[in-house]
């Protein structure tokens, strides 16, 4: 099935969409995969015009992301943070924006800078207190959400908050990187924009930096497209092609990583050196019932707190052999780190919290590595 059959592609299940999306139209001896379009200059008279305005390889990946998110439009950016920055740039000077009090530290730092400069008036709230968030809607122009949050893994009641925001005439943007489109589709709840760090689960192999924005609003799409066009945060065509190849195994990777995460969360919750496990898939997690009410799965990130000093916990991360001590997430390989090692991480995150991006390795090998690393804590 080719990209010319979009109406048919939309009817497929997601496991088939990831394989079929972004393909060239079928013709005798035609390519199965889109080419890498290494062009900055185009003959006049067409739709692209110039290399900063469009690229055939971008378009193939954008089509795939749109199919996954059930969006009319998607725009590729040079990184996830570039995509986030473009969202904030479409707001007028002094606009009121409401955001969770903790989340991805890059977003939080950018919002703090905008608030300090007066560019935006940012209200940081605890989004797990749904009624308080809804009560604040009459004072804001945009809600910027992520759920589950990074790295606290708090689940926000997206359907309820988004419905209330739309009723109040408030724009809604959701960072869907952690949950992925496999587990939730915020546009179907009424969100205006969905953001992805494509670097993470969509590409899936820790070898590209990319971001995306998806929307069903054509006017909003044009405004965001202008931010890429005139802001210059364009993606490389090679990176776009690599990410599209990663899309083909997206569902398989997530199925394995989520199964591993569930099993490891259960084992960690019984370990004597672990004081708390944060994973919404656990029935004992405070967000389990809420997550189960609208998510199809619980993701592949676990956050857990270890009894010990931050120095000891850094040694735990350094001692791993199979698990890589590194920042980032969403690749086939397992990664972990103590998040408060970053100066910009929210101080509401405990010093002893390890964020663990679970990969697709053998679950027993991962557990053996965790057990030997935890021996660093006396």
Domain boundary pick from 229, 247, 265? 247
Identify whether residues 172 and 241 lie together within a single domain. Answer: yes
Task: Give the model's pLDDT for residue 347.
Answer: 85
- For the chain, the residue count is 378
> How far does CA 170 lie from the centroid of its chain?
22
Identify whether residues 205 and 260 lie together within a single domain. Answer: no
Mean confidence (pLDDT) of the chain? 96
CA 27, 28, 31, 33 dihedral sign is positive
Identify whether residues 123 and 263 lie together within a single domain. Answer: no
Low-confidence stretches of the chain (pLDDT < 50) are none
Identify whether residues 87 and 217 lie together within a single domain. Answer: yes
Identify whether residues 17 and 141 lie together within a single domain. Answer: yes
Identify whether residues 204 and 307 lie together within a single domain. Answer: no
* Residue 360 lies in domain: 251-374
- DSSP string spanning 156-168? P-HHHHHHHHHHT
Please write the tens of the pLDDT for every residue from 67-103: 999 999 999 999 999 999 999 999 999 999 999 998 9
**Domains identified in the chain, total number:** 2
Residues 6+ apart with CB under 8 A from 55: 37, 39, 48, 234, 235, 237, 240
Task: Give the model's pLDDT for residue 2.
Answer: 52
Say which CATH number the domain at 259 has.
3.90.1150.10
Residue in this structure with the two tokens 């809804």, named with its chain if needed: 134
Residue in this structure with the two tokens 């590729």, named with its chain if needed: 76
Question: Distance (Å, rounded) from C-alpha 86 to C-alpha 78?
Answer: 11
Burial class (CB in 10 A: 0-12, 13-18, 19+), 311: exposed
For residue 120, what are the β-bridge partners? 95
Say which CATH number the domain at 86 has.
3.40.640.10
Please write the tens of the pLDDT for every residue from 307-348: 999 999 999 999 999 999 999 999 999 999 999 998 888 888
Catalytic amino acids?
A: 52, 104, 175, 200
Residue 286 three-state SS? coil
Domain boundary pick from 220, 247, 274? 247
**274 closest CA partner among 344, 364, 367:** 367
Domain boundary pick from 215, 247, 279? 247
Task: Give the model's pLDDT for residue 108.
Answer: 94
Identify whether residues 169 and 31 lie together within a single domain. Answer: yes
Identify whether residues 194 and 289 lie together within a single domain. Answer: no
Query: pTM for the whole thing?
Result: 0.96
Task: Give the model's pLDDT for residue 3.
Answer: 54
Identify whether residues 194 and 333 lie together within a single domain. Answer: no
Task: Give the model's pLDDT for residue 11.
Answer: 93
């Amino acid at each position: 099935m080719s990209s010319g059959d979009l109406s048919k592609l939309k009817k497929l299940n997601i496991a088939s969409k990831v394989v079929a999306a972004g393909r060239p139209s079928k013709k005798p001896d035609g390519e199965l995969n889109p080419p890498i379009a290494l062009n900055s200059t185009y003959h006049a008279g067409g739709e692209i015009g110039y290399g900063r305005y469009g690229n055939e390889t971008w378009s193939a990946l954008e089509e795939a992301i749109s199919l996954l998110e059930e969006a009319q439009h998607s725009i590729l950016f040079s990184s996830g943070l570039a995509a986030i920055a473009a969202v904030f740039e479409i707001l007028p000077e002094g606009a009121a924006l409401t955001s969770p009090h903790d989340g991805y530290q890059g977003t939080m730092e950018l919002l703090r800078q905008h608030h300090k400069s007066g560019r935006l008036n940012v209200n940081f709230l605890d989004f797990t207190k749904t009624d308080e968030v809804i009560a604040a809607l009459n004072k804001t122009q945009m809600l910027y959400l992520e759920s589950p949050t990074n790295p606290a893994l708090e689940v926000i009641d997206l359907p309820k908050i988004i419905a209330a925001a739309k009723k109040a005439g408030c724009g809604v943007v959701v960072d869907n990187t952690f949950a992925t489109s496999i587990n939730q589709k915020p546009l179907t709840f009424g969100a205006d924009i969905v953001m992805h760090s494509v670097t993470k689960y969509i590409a899936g192999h820790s070898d590209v930096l990319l971001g995306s924005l998806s929307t069903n609003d054509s006017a909003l799409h044009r405004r965001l497209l202008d931010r890429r066009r005139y802001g210059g945060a364009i993606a490389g065509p090679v990176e776009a092609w690599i990410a599209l190849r990663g899309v083909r195994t997206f569902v398989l990777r997530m199925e394995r990583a989520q199964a591993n995460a569930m099993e490891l969360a259960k084992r960690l919750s019984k370990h004597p050196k672990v004081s708390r496990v944060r994973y919404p898939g656990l029935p004992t997690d405070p967000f389990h019932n809420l997550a189960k009410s609208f998510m199809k799965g619980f993701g592949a990130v676990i956050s857990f707190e270890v009894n010990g000093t931050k120095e000891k916990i850094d040694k735990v991360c350094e001692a791993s052999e199979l698990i890589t001590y590194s920042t980032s997430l969403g690749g086939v390989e397992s990664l972990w780190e103590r998040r408060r090692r970053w100066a910009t991480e929210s101080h509401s995150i405990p010093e002893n919290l390890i964020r663990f991006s679970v990969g697709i390795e053998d679950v027993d090998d991962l557990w053996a590595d965790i057990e030997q690393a935890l021996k660093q804590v006396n």
